[in-house]
Structure 1
Amino acid sequence: MNKEEQNKTTNDKKIKEIQNGELLEKRYRIIRKIAEGGMAEVYEAFDEYLNRKVAIKIMTVTLSKDVKAEEKAYKEYEAIAHLTNSQNVVKVFARFEYEKRQCIVLELMQGYTLKDWIYKIGSCTNKELKFYFSQINKAVMAIHNENIVHRDIKPENILISYCGEVRVTDFGVSVHGSGDKQDKKIIGTSKYMAPELVQSHPATNLSDIYALGVVLYELATGVPPFVDVKPILVAVKHVKEKAVLPRRIKPELSEDLEYIIMKSISKNPEERYLSVQEFNKDLEKVWEKKPILKKPLKNQILLYSSKTKKYSLKPMVDKYLFNPKFLKNSLLITFLSLAIVLFLVVAIIIIWL
């Protein structure tokens, strides 16, 4: 360990860990730690001024001296503060600094995440989809109305209270709609990341709609459209591969619901729903068993050229069902396998005779 690392470790130790029962800002009594991530820890606390329980999101010790991390914490506070009128966004109450660590006081949701539901129950019924998405869509509409792009919509960031209230949370990587000011870093969760974000294109409302489509796909079928061992490979699949049609996984899904899912996760942003209102309108028609207007979807990939510095659309084929080379190789392998089995059977018969 070099001197810089030793100094950093020493400084981190000087910033004491938060203990249960500790009083922050002379009013918030820490009860317990309820969550922990790479950027922050979340504690359940009791507000002794207002006699209520709250959640306090506190920046990790390692990020306490990171200026960019502090800016993100402030942006998160500012983003949620603009959404106080939305019933489906976690409310923010205050912001303060403790031991050089940024802290945000939030509404405490007693319940579970949508991810917990998927792990325990699996795919949803139409009634359950309606229940969740009628509230999720209201939250995202409110977010977009404030010219904010969430950038990390996923089941882990959707909270459900034991009373059945649904809230969207975690605005740590959200940005205001002006895409010009966004950096070119790939930010988000690979499993729910739009193809244009994987290619360092600025985040927009349409990339949030893509994430909503992926969440809908996962809730409807029980599995996400793209999976792999490494997150980077999942991200590449969002750009280059076509998702398996939901009805191949769960045949009882309606054609209209399948269309809505595939339209919202189109590789081409312009082919998706242009707003969450449009997305929600078609979903409501499905719940009411009314027909929706369906336009043929083009199987195209949005690719970036480093030479021309422009994005272009290229046709995409289904990797497994429509690729002649793949089918040819599969038939050849099947034929050779049968020939080997037949040879072994004949050999065994000759030996026995």
Structure 2
Amino acid sequence: MAFDIDDDLPDRESARQFYQKYEPKEVIGKGLSSVVRKCVEKATGKEYACKIIEFNDDSQEERDATLREIQILKLVGDHPNIIDIVASFETPNYVFIVMELCPNGELFDYLTKVVHLSEKRTRQIMSSILHAVDHLHSHHVVHRDLKPENILMDANMNVKITDLGFAVQVSENEALYDLFGTPGYMAPELLQCSQYEGMPGYGLPVDLWACGVILFTLLSGLPPFWHRKQHLMFRMIMDGQYTMTGSEWDDVSETAKDLIHHLLVVDPAERYTAAQALQHPFFNVERTRRRDFMAKRTLKAHIILIWSIHRLRTLHYRPQPIRGKELLENPYRFKSYRKMIDSTAFLLYGHWIKKDEHQNQNRATLFQTEEKYDVVRHEQLLEQRRVRREQSQPLRLQHQNEIREEQSPPP
């Protein structure tokens, strides 16, 4: 029975044990027959996620599957990349599973925002997923529904595998034949069991096939197998038909592609295990420090590099260096000195040079070569000349009279 998000919470009297310890809050997720709410532990105030599953009287199989999920979570929940179960409560109509809260949501939502991830980030996420899968397989647990929607991200963006509703614990050589999982992430041997008689079944390797699909999707932003007709998509999966030839693969290393090839192998016997995948060169990136590394020299080189880049970027706005010899030969060649010379010439000669048709002429040659007279000094000189003229006029008249007397005839 579907649990509506808008439905009221379960009756407090029937779920007294849960309500004594936890206070339910807003809805943060929904499944086919369950709803996930944020809840707060009353004693500590710590926040958790509570999965509330509702059952009818005729849904004993669903109840058994939920109780099996709780047992598996308690079995494998001591791993940093698997969701940790805190407590569980059971009533006649409901089961409450209290788990750690992952506030950053699903890996699927994160991938939807960024489209695809860098190899560095993909390496971190896939390493965590494969370590979690290796932990599951060490307890002979097959997840059977690994996909980005079932991988949560905690407050520190660490991934946590969740939703072990399809998970099952198998014995050493036990084979499974039931059809469980999400179509795009199903392994070829799982599909073959549902379509053909006499197939050998499937086991732990189906989770590694799903890991290969997730790795492919994280690096490219696209699923390796997709067709609008599901039976054609199943045929592509069983034949292992996928390509890595788009523009989205131009920057992906051959090492990453090689790991995908070893995970998306049709034959489960040849497919990598989780332990083998973690030993692949994709995860063994050398980060050794150079022996001749010198921090001071490296810092100096980076400072010079940054200074040079800044100098090149601002070269157009900065004056060029001026040589003294060039300045003496042609000062008007440099704009800053040309302005300084013009300003000095104006102060010296009292006027600007008029612009005319001789645009290319050296303007310095148009100036007078003598200094201007000071106005006050010039008036003083004129006054001295007038005084001398007045003083010399009586003498000049006397001299003229004497000349006339000498020239006149005697009586």
Q: Normalising to structure 2: TM-score of the pair?
A: 0.61
Q: Deviations over 1:16-70 (max 9, x none)?
A: 7427999744222110111111132111111213432111112245x66411111
Q: Which residue in the other structure is 2:38 paired with? A: 44
C-alpha separation between the residues in 1 aligned to 2:36 and 2:85? 14
Q: Which residue in the other structure is 1:3 paired with? A: none
The within-5 A match list for 1:1-353 is: 17-18=8-9, 24-61=18-55, 65-98=58-91, 100-178=93-171, 184-200=177-193, 202-245=201-244, 249-273=248-272, 275-285=273-283, 287-288=285-286
Greater percentage in strand: 1
**What amino acid is the match of 1:189?**
T
Q: Deviations over 1:317-351 (max 9, x none)?
A: xxxxxxxxxxxxxxxxxxxxxxxxxxxxxxxxxxx
Determine if contact 1:147/1:176 at 8 Å carries over to the other structure. yes
C-alpha separation between the residues in 1 aligned to 2:172 and 2:231? 23
Compared CA separation, residues 241 and 89, structure 1 to 2 (3 A): closer
C-alpha separation between the residues in 1 aligned to 2:70 and 2:179? 22
Determine if contact 1:91/1:107 at 8 Å carries over to the other structure. yes
Structure 1 residue 183, shift from structure 2 partner: 6.2
Determine if contact 1:209/1:264 at 8 Å carries over to the other structure. yes
Compared CA separation, residues 285 and 169, structure 1 to 2 (3 A): closer
Structure 1 residue 142, shift from structure 2 partner: 1.2
Structure 1 residue 80, shift from structure 2 partner: 0.9
Structure 1 residue 162, shift from structure 2 partner: 3.1
Compared CA separation, residues 215 and 155, structure 1 to 2 (3 A): same
Q: How many percent identity over aligned positions?
A: 25
C-alpha separation between the residues in 2 aligned to 1:248 and 1:205? 34
Determine if contact 1:160/1:167 at 8 Å carries over to the other structure. yes
Structure 1 residue 177, shift from structure 2 partner: 2.4
User: What secondary structure, in the 3-state scheme, does the structure 2 residue paired with 1:34 have?
Assistant: strand
What residue ranges of structure 2 are gaps of 5+ in the alignment?
194-199, 289-411
What residue ranges of structure 1 are gaps of 5+ in the alignment?
1-7, 291-353
Compared CA separation, residues 289 and 194, structure 1 to 2 (3 A): farther
C-alpha separation between the residues in 1 aligned to 2:247 and 2:284? 19
The structure having more radius of gyration, on CA atoms, is 2
C-alpha separation between the residues in 2 aligned to 1:122 and 1:225? 15
Structure 1 residue 211, shift from structure 2 partner: 0.5
Structure 1 residue 178, shift from structure 2 partner: 3.0
User: What secondary structure, in the 3-state scheme, does the structure 1 residue paired with 2:27 have?
Assistant: strand
Determine if contact 1:65/1:100 at 8 Å carries over to the other structure. no
Determine if contact 1:64/1:102 at 8 Å carries over to the other structure. no
